[in-house]
Amino acid sequence: MSLTKKRKVAVTKVDKNKFYSLKDASSLVKEINCTKFDSSVDLHIRLGVDPKKADQQVRGTVSLPHGTGRTKKVLVLCTPDKEAAAREAGADYVGLDEFVAKIEGGWVDMDVIIATPAVMPKIGKLGKVLGPRNLMPNPKTGTVTNDVAAAVNEVKGGKIAFKVDKAGIVHASIGRVSFSAEKIAENSAELINAIIKLKPSASKGTYLKAVSMASTMSPGIALETKSLMN
């Protein structure tokens, strides 16, 4: 069966007029996967916020109980006295000046950058390269810290960062289709609860406007939002 035929079959299994419970969606997303590889399972969460306003920004981090199923490449930018701790914690790249130069040249072969406060002045000029890719270290996401070992351990253990985009949507990978439905549901609930806790006081009306779950190249599954708020 071709990929196109598989996708057609997958589409027929999703009722576009139905809102699924988190439990049912977590089972269905496995059933409708139409790739030969271990696809990412993603949540797309539309929020009732105006991201153009500073008091309605939603961003944070959450440690998924079952990890993401993907080992993230971590770069630690620090002074020499922190390098050993970063390497022992499992950082993939550790250093400073050579990596700053490489990034200026367009190198971005990493998923997360952790930096110590002391080196941030050197990193500020990398904003044009790192900003659009959401790679810029930030104290709010725990990626600017003197405890580099703890930060590396958290990222390797399943900690993810999320941020509402210009359209008011949070996109995040919460696992793989090889995960059990229970693990997909538990990871999803952890992310959704973290976002609910960050509801800005300036946000009025419905906060969780729409939530959908999908794997790579699969149709989206609409989730019932009222139950998620509880």
Rg (CA), the chain: 19
Q: What is the CATH number of the domain that holds 41?
A: 3.30.190.20
Alpha-carbon distance 156 to 158, whole Å?
A: 6
- Could you tell me the pLDDT band of residue 48, with boundaries at 50, 70 and 90? very high
Q: What is the pLDDT of residue 23?
A: 96
Q: Are residues 135 and 205 in the same domain?
A: no
Q: Are residues 171 and 151 in the same domain?
A: no
Q: Are residues 127 and 193 in the same domain?
A: no
For residues 120-144, average pLDDT: 92
Please tell me the pTM assigned to this model.
Answer: 0.80
Q: What is the CATH number of the domain that holds 116?
A: 3.40.50.790
Cα torsion 202, 143, 109, 57 to 10°: value is 0
Count, residues in the chain: 230
Establish if 3 belongs to a structural domain: no
Q: Are residues 120 and 148 in the same domain?
A: yes
HSE, CB side, 13 Å, CA atoms: give it for residue 66: 20
Q: Are residues 84 and 139 in the same domain?
A: yes
Alpha-carbon distance 69 to 157, whole Å?
A: 10
Establish if 9 belongs to a structural domain: no
Of 157, 190, 221, which one is at a domain's C-terminal end?
157
Range of the domain at 169: 14-67+160-229
> What are 159-193's pLDDT values in tens digits?
998 999 999 999 999 999 999 999 999 999 999 99
- Could you tell me the pLDDT band of residue 1, with boundaries at 50, 70 and 90? very low
Q: Which of 191, 195, 194 is nearest to 173 (CA)?
A: 191
For residues 141-157, average pLDDT: 94
Establish if 1 belongs to a structural domain: no
Q: Are residues 118 and 82 in the same domain?
A: yes
Residue-averaged pLDDT of the chain: 92
Alpha-carbon distance 89 to 121, whole Å?
A: 24
Number of domains present in the structure of the chain? 2
Q: Are residues 47 and 80 in the same domain?
A: no
